[in-house]
Amino acid sequence: MQHSKIISGIDIGTSKVTTIIGQYFEIEDRLNVVAVSSFPSVGFVRGHISDLKKATDTITKSIEAAERMAGFELKSIVVGVEMGQLTKDDNEIDTRIESFNSKGVVAITSVNGEINQSDIKHVIESTETISIPKGKQILHSIPRLYTVDGQSGITNPVGMIGNKLELETHIIVGPSNSVKNLHSCFDNIGISVDSFVYSGVTSAQAAISSTEKELGVALIDIGGTLTSITIITDGSPVFSAVVNLGANYVTNDLAIGLRLSLEDAEKIKLRLNKVIEEKKFEDEVDLSQFGILSEEKHKISIQTAVNGIIKPRLEEIFTIIYDQIENSGFINNIPAGVVLTGGGALTVNAKEICSKIIPLPVRIATPPKLGGIVDDILNPSYTSTIGLLMYNLEHGISQSNNSKKSKPSMGGLIGKIKSMLEPLLP
């Protein structure tokens, strides 16, 4: 039997909570998606738990549905998180995920001056001996570039000879209490958390090419109520931030401007690209084209929806994002431009408006095509979710010894097939 690893993750998004399970075949170097399950983010607000019971129920539903599909019970999981700013008074703690860069230095301790893994560990620890903002904890400490005796730009100094080792590290921090609350959810379910991973890091894993990472690129992941910004230079992140704007604000504007429900406005937002392509030069279109049946209103103006409502909101979102990129200090270090992903990247004219506001090359990224069950998730709204599997694989996080076969659910197709075959097996 070919040896394989089971890899799993759960992406706590602002619109949906998605559990994904993959199977990696080492000999073939092949990663298959074996289960995906999404549920609306009930019990969460901007990535934070607003109702512990409802949040626990949402996570439970997502994990159990994926387990039934895969035929595995998960005992541990990697959790993708994205947390924005809650309403903040002067005395309240900043609840955003944020980042900064830190430098550390150590003396080489070996007799012959050869750098080993112990030196790497010590210099990474030295970058973490800094003052962390109140109420925050480190989610990631990502080594960027090493310097050995003044020689900079080194990505892996192990085996080199020197007297002094320096390192610049990108540190991403998140709100401690929010992380503890998420821990409580998984404790209640009986599943341990292997690690918490910032969704901007996982999105970059799936959306950005190695060439773009080396040249310098800005990844913009537009979710429902939050947008994450991750700037990568010299192969690793150098700036990470979350802003409280997302695609749901476009939906809200459409609902108000067109006098429709939020549910109908979301249908229009998601189908506008296709309807415009089909109708071409016709301005007024029937609501039935969007799957909407209304007794009060039958048609909408495409021009009103696109130029009068969606365009101003997208311009506002991208202007705020551009301000963040400029203020990061790395605007001149991203010649590869901007990569858009997340569900909001599918909004009509998103790429064109982004190009107008941010004077850099822009492309929309979809996650890479893997094997297995992928047809329904090969779109930008699942980039961070697929990136979770890729991140876990790269960092050696797997549940190959941490999951067990469960009795298949008799209600599912996989369960039925297995139950029929079991009596025939030797």
Residues 125, 105: contact at Cβ < 8 Å?
no
Listed in order, strand segments (DSSP E) in 46-135 are 48-49, 72-74, 76-81, 98-107
CA distance 250 to 310: 6
The two structure tokens encoding residue 209: 């090419």
| Residue at token pair 């900064």 | 100
Q: Which of 121, 156, 172 is the last residue of a domain?
A: 172
- Residue 408's pLDDT is what? 37
Answer yes or no: is 279 within a domain: yes
Query: Are 355 and 257 in a shared domain?
Result: yes
Say if residue 123 is exposed, middle or buried (CB neighbours under 10 Å; 0-12, 13-18, 19+). Answer: buried
Residues 6+ apart with CB under 8 A from 293: 287
Name the DSSP class of 350: H
Query: Are 198 and 104 in a shared domain?
Result: no
The two structure tokens encoding residue 341: 């992903």
| Residue at token pair 């860069």 | 101
- Of 77, 37, 73, 20, the C-alpha closest to 407 is 73
User: Is residue 103 helix, strand or coil?
Assistant: strand
Residues 123, 165: contact at Cβ < 8 Å?
yes
Length of the chain: 426
Listed in order, strand segments (DSSP E) in 307-426 are 338-341, 362-364, 371-372, 403-405
CATH value at residue 194: 3.30.420.40
Answer yes or no: is 426 within a domain: no
pTM for this one?
0.88
**With left for phi above 0 and alpha for psi between -120 and 50, is residue 83 left, alpha or beta?**
beta
What Å distances lie between residue 148 and 111, 143, 189, 234, CA to CA?
16, 14, 47, 17
- Of 135, 125, 344, the C-alpha closest to 221 is 344
Say if residue 117 is exposed, middle or buried (CB neighbours under 10 Å; 0-12, 13-18, 19+). Answer: exposed
Query: Are 19 and 136 in a shared domain?
Result: no
Query: Are 81 and 18 in a shared domain?
Result: yes
Query: Are 284 and 323 in a shared domain?
Result: yes
Query: Are 255 and 353 in a shared domain?
Result: yes
Q: Concatenated DSSP letters for 1-52? A: ---EEEEEEEEE-SSEEEEEEEEEETTTTEEEEEEEEEEE-TTEETTEES-H
Answer yes or no: is 290 within a domain: yes
Query: Are 257 and 360 in a shared domain?
Result: yes
- Residue 72's pLDDT is what? 84
Residues 187, 77: contact at Cβ < 8 Å?
no
Per-residue pLDDT of the chain (426 residues; tens, 9 = 90+): 457 889 999 999 999 999 999 999 988 888 999 999 999 999 999 999 999 999 999 999 999 999 999 998 999 999 999 999 987 665 566 889 999 999 999 999 898 999 999 999 999 999 998 889 889 999 999 999 999 999 998 999 999 999 999 999 999 999 999 999 999 999 999 999 999 999 999 999 999 999 999 999 999 999 999 999 999 999 999 999 999 999 999 999 999 999 999 999 999 998 888 888 776 667 888 888 888 887 677 788 999 999 999 999 999 999 999 999 999 999 999 999 999 999 999 999 999 999 999 999 999 999 888 888 778 899 999 999 999 999 998 887 655 444 544 433 333 333 333 333 343 333
Answer yes or no: is 71 within a domain: yes
CATH value at residue 154: 3.30.1490.110
Answer yes or no: is 224 within a domain: no
If one counts the domains in the chain, the total is 3
Domain assignment of residue 147, given as a range:
98-172
